[in-house]
Structures are given as structure tokens and as C-alpha cells.
Amino acid sequence: MPVAQVPGVLSFEDARRAVEQQASQVRPPITESVDLLAASGRVLAVPVCADRDLPPFPRSSRDGYAVRAADLGRVPASLDVIGEIRAGESLENIPKLIGSGQAASIMTGAPVPAGADAVVMVEYTAQQGTRVEITRSITPGENVVPSGAEAKQGSVLVERGVRLNDAAIALAASAGQPRLLVYKRPQVAVLTTGDEIVDVGAIPGPTQIRNSNSYSVAVQIRNASGEPVLLPIAPDETLKLRALIEKGLRSDLLLMTGGVSMGRYDLVEQVLEDLKAEFFFTGAKIQPGRPIVFGKCGAGTPARESTGTYFFGLPGNPVSTMVTFELFARPMLEALAGLSPQKLRFVYAKLKSEIRVKPGLKRFLPAILSGEFEDTQVELVPWQGSGDIAATARANCYIVIPPDREFITSGEFVPIMRR
Ligand code: AMP
Ligand code: MG
């Protein structure tokens, strides 16, 4: 490869850090206001703050009796019931003060009146007329959530840069925000390369392959808060490839698939070199996905001439494309989408059957999590290598194998990455 400035093939961790380092320098996109529900999955641009204390009043977390804990030093104890407080009870119906020897019947979610400092669960009580007998003592504060204990008025409930999930949307709802300001999705150009690749609707010749990578990548882009823009398939021909790459560089991010290996017609790197691209790495010691390329190029991008556009050359083998997107393209896209940096974290599962591999590469091999509840197990999916989309579709995770392991016994806990 006649590329002098190229830093070359990095370890997985160094390559990931190189992306994270670049990602930490990008600015978030412009914002738009959307309906609360439409904001689900989007990235929050302005923090959601509490418009009042949460809870706004000392809230009973049980059905029972609001009491003074000191009255239950000795049980059973008999107290005078001076009222009933339902959830949403109007202020004038709530006893002003629970005095010594007094209690009020109270429901979950109702405000605990002044004087009371605990709620005895109804299970430990028996009411007869206006008296209630209580059989359990209680410590002050039990079954009462003090006002402002969950959040103080004016405090941040959901930070900027968070992808809005169910809990975040619920918080925005509880803070009275029917619309939210979110970041616009960055436009991600998807350029697939290869003389053998034809469109989905075309009838492939005997040696041709339908384009599947543009579609898997487009789905991954959507999941990572981006908006995919599919470019026409680029042939393995320098001038046409260059024109399409220049077009792709006008997007917020360019993802190419194929044409980055060592073959005679793998032209992507050469074309980017001609366009004076800066390369951060041209490979990672991983499998699948070793030929992954990451860089930045200012050519053909009038709006971004100074800053340049980041690009990834993802390997063409379909499983390599999916894996390298997750490992490397995702953090950059998420940064461009305004998301706060996310560390890549693997979780552990028990290996069902032993694994033997050649050492030297960090591997991300398609695998199936099976079992149930706490008894989860994982095993490799039999596959024909990094072109095997069918095997990968049956997988629901990747087993992560460090480069120094050759043999992993069944029963060992191994790191996995969900897919
Ligand atoms: P390449 O990285 O260009 O050498 O491609 C590696 C393998 O991936 C070859 O077998 C290609 O046919 C296949 N491939 C490349 N691009 C695509 C695509 N868009 N959809 C499906 N397979 C592809
Ligand atoms: Mg190719």
C-alpha cells in the first residue's frame, strides 16, 4: 500500500480510542422541537429540569395509616382516626395536624399530613369505628417519601446529550413538557463499492451479489440516531468511485463498504489518498473486520473545507461491515448526533461449549444467548466466516475473545456484545 502518512494497523483498543478521541472534538448538530413521544430514541439538546419538587408533597408509598412513630413504642396500640386521605385529596380535606394518639387513614400516593412521620401498612391494622388498633411499631420516615427527595425544583432531571428512553420521557412528562428540543439527525452517506454488487431490485448475473451492506448499515445508522442517505453503488473504477466519494463527503459522515482490503481492485484508500485525506488508522487487529479504515477529508466539502468530513471504509464482507460499524462508526456518529460519549462495555455470560481460535486478533464472533433468567448461556453460531449473514441473523450477540486466548473451556464466563 503506497501510503506514506498512514499510521497503519492498530490494536482494537487503540483504534477505538482513536475514534473516541476524534469524536470528542465534534460539535453537536442544530436542534428541532418535537412532540414528547416522537422524542423517544432522539438525543436531548436542552436539559429537562424539575418545575417543582418531586414528589411535590410528602407521599405515602403504602395504603395504611399516617401516624406518629413515637405513639407506637408499645404495640398493640389504639389510635383515634381523625380523617381519610385519598390520592389527590383536596387540601381542605386533609387534617391540619396529626396529634399524639391520632392517625389518619391514607392511600398510596396521598400526601402525609403534618405531624405524622410514618405510614403503617393496612395489613398491620384493624379499624373499628373511629379507632384503629395497630400491631406493629414503626421507625420515623417509613413508607413516606419526603417532598423533593427524588428531585428538587429547578434541578436537572435529564441531562443534555442523553438518548431519550422510557424513563427520560416519563421524567419530561412529569416536568410538564409536552414538546422537547432534540438534535437533528446527522446525514450519513452510505457508499457501497464493488463491480460485483447490484441493486436489490436487479436480477443478479451468475457471479453478481445483491447489495445488502447498504441496508444493514442504514439500519445501524438509524439506531445510532443518524439519517442514512444511500448513494448509488460505486464500481471498482477510480474516476467514478472518486466522484461518489466526493459526493459522500458533503454529508455529515461518510460510510463506505468494500474496497478496503489488499485486492488489486480495492481502490477506496487510494482515492481518498488522492483527495488528501488524513488517515487515523487503516486496519485493526480484529476479526471480523481487520481492513477497517478511519480518516477525515476536506476535499469536495465547501461547507466543511476547514474541518473536513470523517469517513470510515468498512470492510465489504457483510458481517465485518456490521461489526466494524458497531465498534468504530457508532461512537463517531453518536458524537455527530449530539450524544454524550458512551463507553463500550461488554457483559459476561457463561460459555456453553468450548472455543478454540488462533491467537493474535481480538475476535467478535456471532453467538447465541440461550437459557432463561439467571441461567443464561452463550455459544458460538456455526458460520462460514465473515460473509455469512444467515448465521449472523441467527445470532443475538458476539462473543468477545481477547487476542491472547486460544482455548476457552465451557463454563467460563466470557464477555459478550449484544446485537
Ligand atoms: P471487499 O471488501 O470489497 O473485498 O468485499 C469483500 C466481500 O464482501 C466480497 O465477497 C464482496 O462481494 C462482499 N460485499 C462487498 N460489498 C457488499 C455489499 N454491499 N453487499 C453484500 N456483499 C458485499
Ligand atoms: Mg470489493
Segment 100-105 mean pLDDT? 98
Find out whether the beta carbon of 263 lies less than 6 Å from any atom of ligand 1: yes
Could you tell me the pLDDT band of residue 300, with boundaries at 50, 70 and 90?
Answer: low
Query: Read out DSSP for 269-321?
Result: HHHHHHTT-EEEESEESEES-TT-EEEEE-TT-GGGTTT-EEEEEE-SSHHHH
pLDDT of residue 4: 45
Distance in angstroms (rounded) separating the CA atoms of residues 166 and 164: 7
Closest-lying ligand to the alpha carbon of 210?
Answer: 1
Would strands 347-351 and 375-380 be described as parallel, antiparallel, or unpaired? Answer: parallel
- Nearest CA to 162 out of 132, 143, 183 is that of 183
Query: Read out DSSP for 196-223?
Result: TEE-TTS---TT-EE--HHHHHHHHHHH
Could you tell me the pLDDT band of residue 305, with boundaries at 50, 70 and 90?
Answer: low
pLDDT of residue 223: 96
What stretches of 72-168 adopt beta strand conformation (E)? 77-85, 102-106, 118-121, 125-128, 131-134, 144-145, 156-158
Residue 3 has pLDDT above 60, yes or no: no
User: What is the atom index within ligand 1 of the atom nearest the CA of 192?
Assistant: 19
pLDDT of residue 1: 45
Segment 56-76 mean pLDDT? 98
Find out whether the beta carbon of 198 lies less than 6 Å from any atom of ligand 1: no
Look-up of cell digits 457508499? 191
- Nearest CA to 349 out of 318, 376, 381 is that of 376
pLDDT of residue 150: 98
Segment 216-243 mean pLDDT? 97
Find out whether the beta carbon of 212 lies less than 6 Å from any atom of ligand 1: yes
Closest-lying ligand to the alpha carbon of 213?
Answer: 1
Please give the model's pTM, rounded to 2 decimal places.
0.94
Counting residues of the chain whose pLDDT is more than 90, the rounded percentage is 95
Find out whether the beta carbon of 197 lies less than 6 Å from any atom of ligand 1: yes
Segment 222-237 mean pLDDT? 97
Segment 32-42 mean pLDDT? 98
Segment 154-174 mean pLDDT? 98
Find out whether the beta carbon of 386 lies less than 6 Å from any atom of ligand 1: no
Closest-lying ligand to the alpha carbon of 321?
Answer: 1
